[in-house]
Amino acid sequence: MSTYIQFAAIKFRNNMAYRFEYIMGILNTVLNFLVYWCIYKALYGGANEIDGITFSMVTTNFIISLGLTNAFSKNEMFLQDKIKQGTIANELLKPVNFKFRMLFEDLGDGFFKVLFNFLPAVIIAMLFTEMEPPAGILGFILCLASAVLGYIVLWYISFIVQTLAFWLFNVWGVMTIKNVIVNIFSGALLPLWFMPEPVLNIIKFTPFDSIFFTPVQLYLGQLQGYEILMNFGRQVLWIAILYFIGELLWNKGIKRLVVQGG
């Protein structure tokens, strides 16, 4: 495990070398939030709530979603680049688990962006906006636990798309479509409270709301008792399903790679 932690630490230190980049990251996060805040401020038209959804709830949703977006940072071209460069075979020969290496490098990147992009940005944003406090210590702890599971869900979705590089020349287009779908149906761009009921019912059969919206609901105390267990259960179930799909595609891709090389 210490080997993989070193991968995360190296990624973290590499990011530290580009100070201008992480200053721009803070600015980008602040601007993203302020743009969304201004849009919804205009849509609310001075009203405090619409259909029971207060403006502070929407503000909180965006702040948490932006934080998790930074924490969930990933190098989504990592596998494709290794395949294109022809170094994937050498990587697989190393005495480390390639997928664990990917995961821990992404964790190092995400940890850096939370510390140096999101936290400074959220402090600035909170000076100009209202963010609701968590629904108690338990609600905050449950939010963090759900966010960890949400990260794993999103990471495996990304990994599945990355494995398509074994069959596709370039996965950038597919990755872009994936990102758009995730941003819309996870509640990162549009809080799912505003989704039509039929659409929301469909989303509940996907893993997307487990990524951002479930942690937000737990933070705000909107889930209680049985609902908490059900949502955690859905996250774990989707992790299992996505893990199985990812392993299946990975194993088939590796075999195809060997055939091409031979």
Averaged over successive runs of 10 residues, the pLDDT of the chain (262 residues) comes to: 82 75 76 82 82 86 83 85 85 86 88 80 73 88 94 94 92 93 88 90 92 93 92 96 96 75 44
What local confidence, expressed as pLDDT, does residue 259 receive? 45
What local confidence, expressed as pLDDT, does residue 246 receive? 96
Q: At what angle do helices 136-163 and 213-220 cross, to 10 degrees?
A: 180
What local confidence, expressed as pLDDT, does residue 74 receive? 79
What is the reported pTM?
0.89
What local confidence, expressed as pLDDT, does residue 128 receive? 72
What local confidence, expressed as pLDDT, does residue 180 receive? 92
**Which pairing describes strands 53-54 and 49-50: parallel, antiparallel, or unpaired?**
antiparallel
Give the chain's length: 262
What local confidence, expressed as pLDDT, does residue 258 receive? 56
Encode burial over 116-141: b for 16+ CB neighbours within 10 A, e otherwise: bbbebbbebbeeebebbebbeeebee
Domain boundaries, the chain: 2-261
What local confidence, expressed as pLDDT, does residue 261 receive? 46
